[in-house]
């Protein structure tokens, strides 16, 4: 315990200590955090669906029919008609033959990579991939080759040098969660086809946000049928909970039989499944939500840059405002809270040293008044701290 105390003290001294914040209201644009109302600017609830009355009603109806818990794993007693309907709905949404649902996006990534990659295989992974992909690489029995972020030249050189005579798998985020940039999926697919590799894309932050129907990066780039494994979550823009893998019938059957996180986990509760089913319908049928999200994201990004902030370029609702050192980013976040804006600092190990930031995320349900309040708070604090002049 003494060793743990010393390590915790070191974490505090570096400005990297983390604590839980208590949410006392539904996930909306205005939330109660630790007893105080604030404007939420850090949520992954991109389309504002998490507290939509239609999703709430769908959850209640599912609970009335199937109860609160699933009672077992999908392969024993936990498989309901709702679970099967959701998997069929996800497959249609993603343009694939089939899909399989997991309890979290993290589990979906770990499940796919540990089931599909074995000794003698090689995984080529973007250096800025999400932690769940990194852990999936580590837990698999494959050799892992890291390529420089979004660097297709480096990826090709490593494909030529390290590719296996067995299976080669390129894994990438579709939208990178800390920088908000979109992977060059067309370039990755071209290299995969040239060098005989599979492609797996983590579309957690793209599902519901990108694409004509909100189906993610494959739809965004019109790559249907050319990406072997599509992963996503139901807990961000979808406003529910869980994760999924979409692909061919053979792929999904294989995961159903070989993916340990699927086999040995209790199934998601019926209320969650009913919520996700309704949400996917709304995502497809209400494109104005994506249009609104794109509009305000573009406005806030442009106005912050005009003020003098270092905002990373992009076209997603993830706006990273670079501050620098961890302590300074934490201070900026505290000042935001004083102004009634909730946007915690993002620090190492989530991002590289010296690039601590405010990861501002917007929702389609933010009003024009909300946007003015956000921009006003950033302007005042930026001048006060000397971040802008």
Q: Domain spans of the chain?
A: 19-48+287-385, 53-285
Q: Is the pLDDT of residue 233 over 80?
A: yes
User: Does the annotation mark 205 as catalytic?
Assistant: yes
* Model pLDDT, residue 350: 86
Q: Is the pLDDT of residue 389 over 80?
A: no
Q: Single out the catalytic residue among 130, 158, 205, 366.
A: 205
* Model pLDDT, residue 120: 95
* Model pLDDT, residue 349: 86
**Spatial separation of the C-alpha atoms in residues 310 and 151, rounded to whole Å:** 22
Q: Single out the catalytic residue among 43, 70, 125, 177.
A: 177
- In angstroms, the Cα distances linking 125 to 116, 136, 145, 188, 301 are 15, 10, 6, 11, 29
Confidence of residue 170 (pLDDT cuts 50, 70, 90): very high
CATH value of 19-48+287-385 in 3.40.1350.10, 3.40.366.10, 3.90.1150.10, 2.40.50.140: 3.90.1150.10
Q: Is the pLDDT of residue 13 over 90?
A: no
* Model pLDDT, residue 162: 96
- On average, the pLDDT of the chain sits at 96
Q: Is the pLDDT of residue 380 over 90?
A: yes
**Spatial separation of the C-alpha atoms in residues 137 and 189, rounded to whole Å:** 20
Helix (H/G/I), strand (E/B), else coil: 333: helix
Q: Single out the catalytic residue among 236, 297, 333, 366.
A: 236
* Model pLDDT, residue 208: 97
* Model pLDDT, residue 19: 87
Output the CATH code of domain 53-285.
Answer: 3.40.640.10
Per the rule left: phi > 0, alpha: psi between -120 and 50, beta: everything else, 359 is beta
CA angle (131 as vertex; 126, 128 as ends), nearest 5:
30
* Model pLDDT, residue 18: 85
User: Does the annotation mark 177 as catalytic?
Assistant: yes
* Model pLDDT, residue 376: 97
Residue range 97-132, pLDDT digits in tens: 999 999 999 999 999 999 999 999 999 999 999 999
């Amino acid at each position: 315990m003494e060793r743990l105390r010393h390590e915790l003290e070191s974490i505090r001294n570096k400005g990297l200590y983390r604590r839980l914040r208590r949410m006392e209201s539904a996930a909306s644009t205005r939330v109660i955090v630790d007893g105080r109302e604030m404007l939420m600017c850090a949520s992954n609830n991109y389309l504002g669906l998490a507290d939509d009355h239609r999703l709430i009603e769908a959850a209640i109806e599912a609970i009335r029919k199937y109860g609160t818990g699933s009672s077992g794993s999908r392969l024993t007693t936990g498989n309901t008609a709702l679970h099967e309907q959701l998997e069929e709905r996800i497959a249609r949404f993603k343009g694939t033959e089939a899909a399989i649902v997991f309890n979290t996006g993290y589990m979906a990534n770990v499940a796919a990579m540990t089931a599909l990659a074995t000794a003698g295989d090689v995984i080529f992974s973007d250096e800025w991939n999400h932690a769940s992909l990194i852990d999936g690489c580590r837990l698999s029995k494959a050799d892992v080759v890291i390529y420089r972020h979004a660097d297709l030249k480096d990826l090709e050189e490593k494909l030529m040098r390290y590719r296996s005579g067995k299976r080669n798998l390129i894994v990438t985020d579709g939208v990178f969660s800390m920088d908000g940039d979109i992977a060059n999926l067309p370039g990755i697919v071209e290299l995969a086809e040239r060098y005989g590799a599979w492609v797996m894309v983590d579309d957690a932050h793209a599902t519901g946000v990108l694409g004509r129907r909100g189906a993610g990066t494959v739809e965004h780039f019109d790559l249907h049928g050319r990406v072997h494994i599509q992963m996503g979550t139901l807990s961000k823009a979808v406003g529910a909970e869980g994760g999924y893998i979409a692909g061919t019938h053979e792929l999904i059957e294989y995961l159903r039989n070989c993916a340990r996180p699927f086999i040995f986990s209790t199934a998601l509760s019926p209320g969650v499944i009913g919520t996700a089913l309704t949400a996917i319908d709304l995502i497809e049928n209400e494109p104005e939500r994506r249009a609104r999200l794109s509009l305000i994201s573009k406005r806030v990004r442009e106005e912050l840059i005009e003020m003098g902030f270092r905002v990373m370029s992009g076209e997603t609702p993830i706006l990273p405002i670079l501050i620098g050192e961890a302590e300074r980013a934490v201070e900026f976040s505290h000042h935001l809270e004083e102004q009634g804006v909730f946007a915690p600092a993002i620090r190492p190990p989530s991002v590289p040293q010296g690039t601590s930031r405010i990861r501002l995320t917007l929702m389609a349900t933010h009003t024009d008044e909300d946007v003015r309040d956000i921009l006003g708070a950033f302007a005042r604090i930026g001048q006060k701290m000397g971040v802008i002049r």
